[in-house]
Structure 1
Amino acid sequence: MYPYRSNTNIYQKNTSINTRETNVSVTKNDLKQDKRLLELLEIAQQETMQSLSVFDALIKNTALQQDVETLRNAYLDEVKHLKQLQEISYNISGKHITQPTQTEQTSATEINIENVSSEIEKALHQEMEQTDFFRELLFAIPETDLRDILFEIITDKQDHCIRLCFLFSKYQ
């Protein structure tokens, strides 16, 4: 319940607009030293590979052939995300992180043709979890250029959720 008796006047509090706007400069070397950030970027690349394999399997599903273009757009976004994440990792660490190829990942993901709606629902939940993960990753990186890339990935993930919601309602 909303606390009606609380004082919501912000002018009585000593609140400064500039509390978040500190002039802390973070260098690439500082980011390179952050092992947790590098691990998160590696996890992000692995999750993107999982999304690639899921969208690839959905594209190959014969029951979804009339919606291949919708799925292909999401698949191509995931390819772009993988390249962007590799670029971020390289910019921070100076090393290329190698990931398993697409064909190795696809064999693990097989979609049951009879149960299309449940597979779409699984993909939807995976995309929603990844959206939350990338949002947390966005907050872990203080540098603006890298945050812009992550913001683009987050908006694409949200778009994928919308597309998958449409497909889920269509095949329900």
Structure 2
Amino acid sequence: MLQYPFYQPWVPYAYPPASTGAMFSDMDYYGYRNEAQPESYKSLQEALALIKQSVQGEREDELFYDYLISIAPTQEEKKIIESIRDDERKHNNMFRTIYQNLTGQTITALESTSFEKPASYIDGVKKALFGELAAVEKYRDIRAGLPNRYYRDMVFEIITDEIKHATKYNYILYLDLSRKK
């Protein structure tokens, strides 16, 4: 098999930045073509505002998840919700990184935060499930407004985690139905 000296299948193409020559003017730093986004997509400013909004609500979400963990009826459910909470912490760090890289600014957390306790554990699980699904929709808008594939791929990871979380909450609801039989 003929291999070019610059090609390694396990490493993305490392094209030089656009400023080094006209040959690469339509490629970003990671060698991906810069795609023009249709007008219906979100702008970078809209994406940044949504990122900031998402990160500022992190403390409320963390308190909510900690509460669900404290009232979960089984160790299995506690571990599932803990894994979701830990993913959410990772997502917030990823969003903070994206925001800081694109703006040079850090997002400050809101000082006083509280959350509304659900009427029951299952009501809390339902709220969390629909919160995960709403996050997918918001994060799609964020992804659409980001300037290059590197950041869009980071948000794609977050989106797929949110879908995984919704599936886990559905499993918890299934466990609840099974206990009632």
Judge conservation of contact 1:61–1:111 (CA < 8 Å) in 2: no
Task: Give the number of the structure whose residues are more often helix, by fraction.
Answer: 1
Partner of 2:135: 130
Give the superposition deviation at 1:80: 0.4
* Pairs aligned (count): 141
* Inter-partner Cα distance in structure 1 for 2:72 and 2:48: 39
Query: What RMSD over aligned residues (CA atoms) do the two structures have, in Å?
Result: 2.6
TM score, norm. by length of structure 1: 0.71
Q: Are 2:120 and 1:110 aligned?
A: no
| 1:9-48 matched pairs, under 5 angstroms | 23=34, 34-48=44-58
Change (3 A) 1:143 1:110: same
Structure 1: runs of 5 or more not aligned? 1-20, 27-32
1:44-83 alignment runs, 5 A limit: 44-83=54-93
**Are positions 1:157 and 2:162 aligned together?**
yes
Identical-pair percentage = 23
Deviation at 1:49, TM superposition (A): 4.0
Counterpart of 1:142 (choices 134, 147, 150) is 147
Instruction: Measure how far apart 1:24 and its partner are.
Output: 5.2
TM-score by length of 2: 0.68
Stretches of structure 2 that go unaligned for 5 or more consecutive residues are 1-31, 38-42
Partners of 2:36 and 2:142 in 1: how far apart?
A: 18
